[in-house]
Every structure is written in C-alpha cells, then in structure tokens.
Amino acid sequence: MLTVRKGEKQGSCPKETTYCQRKSEHLDYTFPKKEKLKSKKLIEKLFSEGESISKFPIKLIYLETELSKEVLVQTGVTVPKKNFKSAVKRNRIKRLLREAYRLNKPAVFNNTERTFAFLFLYLGKEVPSYPQVEKSMKRVLAQFIRQIHGEKVDP
RNA sequence: AAAGCAGGCUACCUUAUCGCUCCGGCAGUAGUGUCGGGGAGGAAAGUCCGGACACCACAGUGCAACAUAGCGGGUAACGCCCGUCGUUCCGAACCCGUUUCGGAAAAGGACCAGUGCAACAGAAAGCAAGUACAGUUCGGCUGUAGUGAAAUCGGGUAAACUCUAUGUGGUGAAACGUCAUGUAAAUCGGUGUUCGAGGGCUGCACGCCCGAGCCGAAGGGUAGGCGGUUAGAGCCUUUGGGCAACCAAAGGUCUAGAUAAAUGAUAAGGGUCGGUCUUUUGGGGUCGAAACAGAAUCCGGCUUAUGGCCUGCUAUAUUU
C-alpha cells in the first residue's frame, strides 16, 4: 500500500534566466489582474457597440476604447450558463480560454498601439480539448489583426 | 462467487516548463521587481432543518399558518444523534408459546368532540334498514343462522380532515458599518404637520410605537474602496467519565480567502483498473479509462450525486 502524504509538495523551482530574455523580445505570457476586464459598464458597452469575430466555437467581441489601467487590452471570458449548467464545466472552459489567450496574446500586443476591450464567448455545446481551443483562438486573433490593420488603411 | 444493508478509509502520484491568487521579508516615492510560504470538497451541491452574527425603536395579545409527536439522554440548537420500551416484518431455536435469541422497518398523542372513508364477502357497513328459521305476551318483541376484522353497534381508520399538547417575530453578507464620488438638502404640481401624511412592529385583527414629510412630473448622479471576512460550538493526540450519542482535562497545532470571481495549462514518466496480443510460468507489448463535482459570512445536521478499497451482518447458490 502506498500512502502519499499531503502537504509535502515540492517547492517551486527557481525561475530560469530565460524570463528576462523573453521580456526583451516582447514575449509576455503573463495574464495579471489589471489585464482582466472587470468593469460592468464596459462589458455592457461591448455588447451594444462592440464588433465581433466568430470562428466556431469561439466568438470575440472587441471595442476600441480608453482603459483606466495602463495596458493595451483588457480581456474577459464568458461561457453561457444556458449551455453548461455545471459550474465545473464552465470553469474548465473559461480556464482553457484564458490559457489559450495568455499563450497567444503576443500576436496582438506586438501588432498594435491602440487599446481594446476583449470579450471571448464560448458558443459550443461540448467541453473542448485544449488543442481545439488553441486552434480556434489563433484563427480568431489572426482575423482580428487583419481587421484592425484593414481599418487603419481604409480611412 | 454475485446481491442487499450497515460502518470505516480514500478521492491517482512525480518531475519539468509556463501561468493565477493571497500572506510575509527585502528593494523602490510609486507602478513594480525579487525571495520564501499558503491555496477547494466529501459532498464545497440541494438550500431542506437548526444556530452564531447583523439590522428591523421595545419585541405585546389573539387568530391564522407551519413544524413536531412513547419515555429518557446528548447538544449552542434542531425536525439531528444516542439509548430504551412498545408495535410490525423476517430468520433460527426449543420447554411450540402474544416464548427466547438474532436482524430489519417506521408514518409510535387522540377516532365515548364532529365530519369523512372502507376492497372482497354479505340481503344489509354506520341518518340504519332488513334475509331465513324458531319462539312469542302478536309489538319488527326475542333468540339462532349466514358474510366479515367489524352487524340496530362507545368496531376500524388520523403518510383522512380534524382535535390536543409543545414550539416558531421578520429579513438575510446583495445583512450591516464606514470612506470616497456627485451640480441636487435644487425646480414644478398634489397632499399633510397633534382634526396627523407616511411608516414600523407578523400574513390578519387588536393594541402599541416613530412622527414631518410623502406621492407624482421633468431632469441629474453613482453602480467603487475598506471593514464585516476567516482562530472557529476549530483540528489532532493522550487520559478519565458514560452502554452510547457525547462530555471533561492536559498537551500540541494554525489549516483557502477569490469578488466578471484565483487554486490552472502542456509534456514526459510511474502506479491502478479494463480490453486485446504474446509467453511453459513469472512477465512483456499495445490501446483505452479514472467518477460525482468548484469555496463565496461561518458552524451543526439532513438529503441527493458518485469512482475505488476494507470490515461486519443477512439470506441465496456452488465447490471441498
């Protein structure tokens, strides 16, 4: 019988020196509090005035706006309660969406100086795997970049 | 071996990389950086009971409503838990009985207060009528028979209304306190100031209390921080008391605190279980699976969902 004692978790290992290099290359994979979309007002504004990009199962609503914090983008994620009654499943999907955004957000940050509010909606009916989410996320962000650059040129 | 019931334990692990949140140290005016540490559950769930806590000025009476129902104990409290008696059911034993032993169940106050209900059988089942035979003082007066658990009757039934006893004030952390912000404690109309507007106390009535505002129009602002908030009827060990639930003492210990809501993602390896292939066995290869489920003021219960493992009891079947 193997008994595994709780509370004997391994201490986190010392961070590698690669962090500083990353920062200099603008490859910032963090997702701190100030980059989270929290204002009720702004979210309502997003739904009424925002533009959307839909690449099933992810839908991105975005709006160019001024932000209170000194960041380029504030991002929120939503999974409708209607499609997923279980709180565990909703949490799981939100975490996957955040994770996919976190690892792919340099694509946005390195291509714009303007500030946006983002809201990712999950429209599927099934709990996805991470590769599915990431694939969809990449397509959505690529489309977003094309659109904002297109807008810049036109006027 | 499979099944049911009861109880206990557990809720894959390790490493690497990236990331989130809180606390503490250090550096910095600060944004922040860095080092160290903590970071979901047995049900966190349903929100069904009981409390703590907060506010409703004080917390009244009657009715209604709801809950509970042998007796005793435990507890902060309970509709919970423990013990016990009775009842019913199942099994075994013998001295074959309303017996003894073992196990299980629950809906255990009251049907001479009232109302209702009753399968089959029976002529008739609860304002009573009335069949057959016999007797007779000829009066449906008496007896017997027959059906049934029960028949001119204080029979049954309250997971039937009801009655009795006891208990329950309301709201619910979006409570509440505090700080910040705001041009607005402004304008117009109606109504009112002891002949009382409008409220509060419980759903209603009584009764009581506060009392100078209240309602509408048009128009304007906020939708945020902090406290409450995580050290508690806490957890662990030992000893003592008690049949037990549980209690007492001593020692040790600190164990999530988010708020559009942290506790995660990816990869590799290992263990477990299952399928399949292979091997004389040991074993090996390969594919797949890992449930129910996410803290939101905090406790004690109940209920429901659910993957493993272990123990006991019950009856069944098979083998020796």
Query: pLDDT tens digits for A6-60?
Result: 222 222 332 222 222 333 334 678 888 778 877 777 777 777 777 888 888 888 8
Domain boundary assignment for chain A: 30-153
What CA–CA distance (Å, rounded) separates A38 from A117? 10
- β pairing state of A73-78 and A116-122: parallel
Q: Within 32-91 of chain A, which residues have Cβ less than 7 Å from strand B?
A: 32-34, 36-41, 43-44, 70, 76-78, 86-88, 91
Instruction: Say if pTM beats, i.e. exceeds, 0.80.
Output: no
What CA–CA distance (Å, rounded) separates A83 from A80? 6
Contact yes or no for A58/A50 (Cβ under 8 A): no
Any atom of strand B under 7 A from CB of A128?
no
Q: Residue A84 has what pLDDT?
A: 85
Any atom of strand B under 7 A from CB of A6?
yes
Sign, CA torsion A54/A59/A65/A67: negative
Name the architecture of domain A30-153: 2-Layer Sandwich (3.30)
